[in-house]
Amino acid sequence: MTELKLDSFDEGLHVAVIGASGAIGKAMVHWLEQVPTVNRIYALSRSEPEFDRVNKTDFQYLDLLDENSIANGAEQISEPLDLVLVTTGILHEGEDLKPEKCIKDFQPDHFARIFAVNTTGPAMVAKYFLPKMARNRKNVFAVLSGRVGSISDNQLGGWYAYRASKAALNMIIKSLAIEIARKNKSSIIAALHPGTVDSHLSMPFQSGVPGGKLFSADYSAERLLHVIDQLTPGDSGHMFAWDGEKLPF
Ligand SMILES: NC(=O)c1ccc[n+]([C@@H]2O[C@H](COP(=O)([O-])OP(=O)(O)OC[C@H]3O[C@@H](n4cnc5c(N)ncnc54)[C@H](OP(=O)(O)O)[C@@H]3O)[C@@H](O)[C@H]2O)c1
């Protein structure tokens, strides 16, 4: 691993990664473990992650569909948080829940399930974790969204529930940024697009990805942490890709 620094932040950082069992979430924890200015990482997820060589990281259970677990997860953290990364999300689940190719595939229960995890879940995390953010020093609340949630960038259609859940998530990010700018001027709220990343989520669709365009979770996580390091309060309420490009909503 090359050295990653978070130079734009102060020292003695406290970080929470929600969704630390996922490919990108776990890679984020591994990178953050290497940053000398990071003191403690709170890794929260529904499944217990299998980490290699972590010594600054504490695990806590959190299920996005259980509000008490989100409240408890936040309550266990006593230090002000400098960085919160929400790396959860679903595109498919089990045998039946698959992204819709066309509107005849649309199923209300699948739509509701995807919204519960991809949209309501991160909003609930914001409800309980934003009050824990540091004050008077740079702090970032960043959520993995996706380019497919951009309404203006939609060229292909389909994937109704997933696209709509991420578009709604982007709206929540925008509203949070407006609200938080009034309360904590050093806070930055951002949506992130990780690129197409080799993970459980992308597995069924990887064959359609052009050569060289499927990133490892390690690569994407390192790029996203670099992007987060570049963010300033003026960037709050926007979506950024792994390479720093500001993406339209
Ligand atoms: N991979 C890509 O190509 C790609 C592209 C664009 C955007 N993204 C976004 O990036 C994020 C992470 O994706 P990934 O590729 O790392 O996927 P992943 O490896 O499948 O990880 C998904 C994570 O979401 C968690 N999760 C799902 N339902 C949950 C629930 N009810 N409560 C708590 N956690 C829950 C999973 O927990 P369990 O381990 O317990 O299942 C896991 O930690 C998602 O928001 C995705 O939409 C990914």
Question: What share of the chain in percent tops pLDDT 70?
Answer: 99
- Helix then strand then coil, % of the chain, to nearest 5: 40, 20, 40
Best substitution site from 201, 227, 242 to test ligand 1's pocket, by max atoms within 8 Å of Cβ? 201
pLDDT band at 210 (very low <50, low <70, confident <90, very high): confident
Best substitution site from 44, 88, 113 to test ligand 1's pocket, by max atoms within 8 Å of Cβ? 88
Q: What is the mean pLDDT of residues 243-248?
A: 98
Atom of ligand 1 nearest to the CA of 65: 31
Q: What is the mean pLDDT of residues 199-217?
A: 92
> 98 φ, ψ to 5°?
-130, 155
CB 24 less than 6 A from any atom of ligand 1:
yes
CATH: 3.40.50.720, 2.60.120.10, 3.40.50.920, 3.30.920.30. Which one for 13-247? 3.40.50.720
Question: What share of the chain in percent tops pLDDT 90?
Answer: 94
Angle at 224 between CA 223 and CA 225, to 5 degrees: 95
Best substitution site from 26, 87, 214 to test ligand 1's pocket, by max atoms within 8 Å of Cβ? 87
Distance 148 CA to ligand 1 centre (A): 15
- Of 131-140, 151-160, 186-195, 203-212, the least confident: 203-212
Distance 94 CA to ligand 1 centre (A): 14
pLDDT score of 52: 86
Distance 192 CA to ligand 1 centre (A): 13
The residue extents of the domains of the chain are: 13-247
- Which one, of 131, 164, 134, 128, lies nearest residue 149 by Cα? 164
Q: What is the mean pLDDT of residues 54-68?
A: 97
Furthest-apart CA pair in the chain: how many Å? 53
pTM over 0.95: yes
pLDDT score of 78: 94
> 213 φ, ψ to 5°?
-100, -5
pLDDT band at 29 (very low <50, low <70, confident <90, very high): very high
pLDDT score of 219: 97
Asked whether 167 and 148 are in contact (CB, 8 A), the reply is: no
pLDDT band at 1 (very low <50, low <70, confident <90, very high): low
Q: Which two tokens stand for residue 128?
A: 């309980």
pLDDT score of 53: 85
CB 45 less than 6 A from any atom of ligand 1:
yes
Atom of ligand 1 nearest to the CA of 24: 16
pLDDT band at 3 (very low <50, low <70, confident <90, very high): confident
pLDDT score of 2: 65
- Of 72-76, 121-125, 170-174, 205-209, the least confident: 205-209
CB 199 less than 6 A from any atom of ligand 1:
yes
